[in-house]
Structure 1
Amino acid sequence: MLESLGSARIEGNHTTLADYVESKLAGARQAPSDQLREMENIERAMGYIEESVQANDHLSEHFIRELHAITVGQLEREGDATPGAYRRHPVRIAQSPHLPPEFIQVPEYMQALVAFVNENHPPKYDLIRRSTT
């Protein structure tokens, strides 16, 4: 639960642990807000990782897209019209000077990332590899 709270905070979600626990106790009596649903989605994605990933498994684009679909599914604010698919239009990040790559480059970049993670590299790259596996 704390992992999902921390992950949601990175995305600007300000739900407190108390709010999240209270929503869990309330159960289906009330529809979750977008911020609570975001945390639920993150928990489901982490469960999917734990169930699906075995030692020495290779990362795949399909797996990354599945995680994306789980994480942004049914979200309005941070949602996606095509969860689990690479974007097909330009995007910008509000209040950030960062310019994401052009949508046409995303599949190629994702292929390169997956190939890098699945290859053997010198120990100096361990942090990069561990952050993606």
Structure 2
Amino acid sequence: MSGFVSTWATERADRYGDVHQNDGVKEIVQLQQATAFVDATVNPGTTLTHGLVREIHRISVAGLEREGDRTPGAYRLSDVTISGSAHRPPAPGDVHSDMTSLLDTIADMAPRPDGISASDIERDTIGQSVEPH
């Protein structure tokens, strides 16, 4: 299906202008490429890292005008706003630590080879005291 989408998008762009100048088509194609990258790279047990997240971002937005980024693949270094939204994205100095917290949370949810997740262990040990020997 994803090959069909990029072929259709490319043919449509050719009809309505140069595919390289059509930002919407380029975005669709790059999101397809990012999805293919994830499919080829991420397997059960793959640890999500800052580098992996940044590479997916780089593939998705590099060279885009409207939805692009001056530094694709890097965490932002300046404040941003979302027009029409009351939500305020985190300050640039907080992005790396917020992403670390997210990646740690995801890692804690992942099942271990023995089938027990870190959250199962944490839940089962809360409230239990350890007596010194």
TM-score relative to the length of structure 2: 0.71
Report the equivalent of 1:93. Answer: 82
The one of 57, 61, 68 equivalent to 2:46 is 57
Compute the displacement of 1:48 (Å): 0.1
Q: Which residue of 2 aligns with 1:110?
A: 99
- Work out the number of aligned pairs and report it: 106
Distance 1:83 1:113 in 2: 20
Q: Distance in 2 between matches of 1:23 and 1:68?
A: 22
Q: Which amino acid aligns with 2:73?
A: G
Distance across 2 between alignment mates of 1:65 and 1:45: 11
Match of 1:23 among 10, 13, 22: 10
C-alpha displacement of 1:56? 1.0
What per-residue deviation string (whole Å, max 9, x for no partner) do you get for residues 35-85 of structure 1?
Answer: 000000100000000110121111111100000000001100110000000
- Residue 128 of structure 1 is matched in structure 2 by none
**Equivalent residue, structure 2, for 1:11:** none
Distance across 1 between alignment mates of 2:66 and 2:27: 10
Where do residues 7-86 of structure 1 align in structure 2 (5 Å cutoff)? 21=8, 23-24=10-11, 26=14, 30-32=18-20, 33-86=22-75
Distance (Å, rounded) in 1 between the aligned partners of 2:48 and 2:77: 23
Structure index of larger Rg: 2
Distance 2:81 2:19 in 1: 30
Determine which of 110, 119, 123 is the counterpart of 1:121.
119
- Match of 1:81, SS state, is coil
| Contact map agreement 1:89 1:103 (CA 8 A) in 2 | yes
Residues 59 and 45 (structure 1), Cα distance of their counterparts in 2 relative to 1, 3 Å cut = same
In structure 1, what is the Cα distance between the partners aligned to 2:79 and 2:44?
36
Q: TM-score of the superposition, structure 1-length normalised?
A: 0.71
1:66 and 1:107 mapped to 2: Cα distance? 15
Structure 2 residue runs of 5 or longer lacking an equivalent are 109-117, 121-133
Deviation at 1:113, TM superposition (A): 0.6
Counting aligned pairs with the same residue, the percent is 30
Q: Which runs of 4+ in 1 moved over 3 A?
A: none
Q: Could you tell me how far 1:22 is from its partner in structure 2? A: 5.1
